[in-house]
Structure 1
């Protein structure tokens, strides 16, 4: 049976020009190398080399095997180098699942410097796991889960990366525009625009409206943040979003954030990963970089400064 070490012998003998030099290069005795060649020829049923004086000349079969060796051996060597990099955490594909609609803008700020710091690691963002990422994390379909609502389970770690405040955002024609805070009873006649998520997974419901026994007149779902906030600015409804995200959009749209109730609604973004992967360098590096890109620290201007 043809094996990798046979191809290495063929290539080395061709490169070195003699059995003696090839044996030294391969850290073999000349007799051991000659034995390997004879055994290979017996297995193949055809000679690989012919002697011409003191030199060896490849037969037609040997020429074919040498071409095969020159194609395959570099691939083996490259694969082994990659495996060493995988083992040491220097290379791989970081698969990120999103369980937070508005966090995509924040994630982009982290991915760019990460790709520069880890040129041998690719990043793949799986948004199809929105609000179902726990199963994907357990099933090794993703490596990191971005979520504001961690479910602590055996074998998983959730690392907090930044704090933020959930606020209500209104447009310039809304009666609450310019106010500092809003109360649940003030939204009973409102059109509330949210991402396409079940109400019991939304903070505006489970931490603000539902405990007060209130509900909006109409609940409208929109997938994209841009369209949602353009609708709000046009007076078509109100929305609940992170304050840092509203601050970024105030540079382009006339929006106003209000605190939810007297104390507000505080939240955190977490990165979830498997305990077994905690020591993988390129995963832990992403977590540390995410902490350094705390969006609340980068938007520190007055949220109404754009007006």
Structure 2
């Protein structure tokens, strides 16, 4: 029976070729795999000889892929992705498993829900690190789609086409006011009526500020911001001092009301009740410890 001579592929060569082809530069490609330019050039030349085809056009401005090189690039990317997935699946079975999860969420989830989740997660996964970042829901959707974030916690009002989503929790936005403020005498109020008063808001770079500002603009009104602060805790301290009123999640308000003399007033607006959802590109493609983190988030 006749046998076919199939070239043997080295993973270092494949990674090098991908880096060179994508950057159109031997220098940049070699740097990314920690090789000298001379060594990188020699490896690519050897790969071309084994395959019997030219993979790259070389010129003064750099390199570009030949048709054969374009075909190899597609398959090399697929092979390297499969190798990475294999490593991710095998890793949890080894001792001292290490990993990293990129989790993007809105301010409510970060302040009220995720601290307990992450504390318990780290108890059973001490070698896993989490990059937790606050973002607007629309930005989170884009980050997950682009692979910048592994897991997102978003508002259910934001479209998440192309992503898998799971229902998470609901939170209610409320107003906090000084105890001697006119609003302290009522149980609930429409947001539009509250805009007659001076506000304490979060920093304009925060997701919560942008979310609230959208509602202000829909009303065709303006929010009279007396001061901007960096946290809900600072907001409630300013409210207690009589500087103005603020808007924050009810869970945060009730927690901080134990430490501050403030009044909590319900918002009657439909948008004030927010449903949170978890979003990922594909759960099946997540690393094992990332899927475990999702389980923790849903259970607590």
TM-score by length of 2: 0.59
Pairing 1:247–2:254 present: yes
Structure 1 residue aligned with 2:294: 287
Pairing 1:177–2:190 present: no
* Unaligned ranges ≥5, structure 1: 4-79, 294-307
Structure 2 residue aligned with 1:269: 276
In structure 2, relative to structure 1, the CA distance for the partners of 1:81 and 1:101 (3 Å cut) is closer
Q: Which runs of 4+ in 1 moved over 3 A?
A: 80-83, 149-155, 197-201, 209-221, 276-281
Return the alpha-carbon distance in structure 1 between the equivalents of residues 102 and 266 of structure 2: 35
Q: For residues 55-100 of structure 1, what are the alpha-carbon distances to aligned partners after superposition, in whole Å with 9 as ceiling and x for unaligned?
A: xxxxxxxxxxxxxxxxxxxxxxxxx987712599x75211112333
Q: Which has the larger radius of gyration?
A: 1
In structure 2, relative to structure 1, the CA distance for the partners of 1:254 and 1:277 (3 Å cut) is farther
In structure 2, relative to structure 1, the CA distance for the partners of 1:102 and 1:236 (3 Å cut) is farther
Return the alpha-carbon distance in structure 1 between the equivalents of residues 164 and 285 of structure 2: 8
Structure 1 residue aligned with 2:230: 223
Structure 2 residue aligned with 1:119: 126
Counterpart pick for 1:85 among 91, 98, 105 = 91
CA contact (8 A) 2:188 2:265 kept: yes
Counterpart pick for 1:167 among 133, 158, 174 = 174
Return the alpha-carbon distance in structure 1 between the equivalents of residues 252 and 209 of structure 2: 22
Return the alpha-carbon distance in structure 1 between the equivalents of residues 260 and 103 of structure 2: 30
Return the alpha-carbon distance in structure 2 between the equivalents of residues 212 and 142 of structure 1: 33
CA contact (8 A) 1:170 1:232 kept: yes
In structure 2, relative to structure 1, the CA distance for the partners of 1:278 and 1:192 (3 Å cut) is farther
* Unaligned ranges ≥5, structure 2: 1-9, 11-85
TM-score by length of 1: 0.57
Structure 1 residue aligned with 2:149: 142
Counterpart pick for 2:117 among 106, 110, 114 = 110
Pairing 1:202–2:217 present: no
Counterpart pick for 1:152 among 138, 150, 159 = 159
Q: CA deviation at 1:152?
A: 3.2
Return the alpha-carbon distance in structure 2 between the equivalents of residues 188 and 151 of structure 1: 25
Aligned residue for 2:182, secondary structure, equals coil
Return the alpha-carbon distance in structure 1 between the equivalents of residues 269 and 112 of structure 2: 28
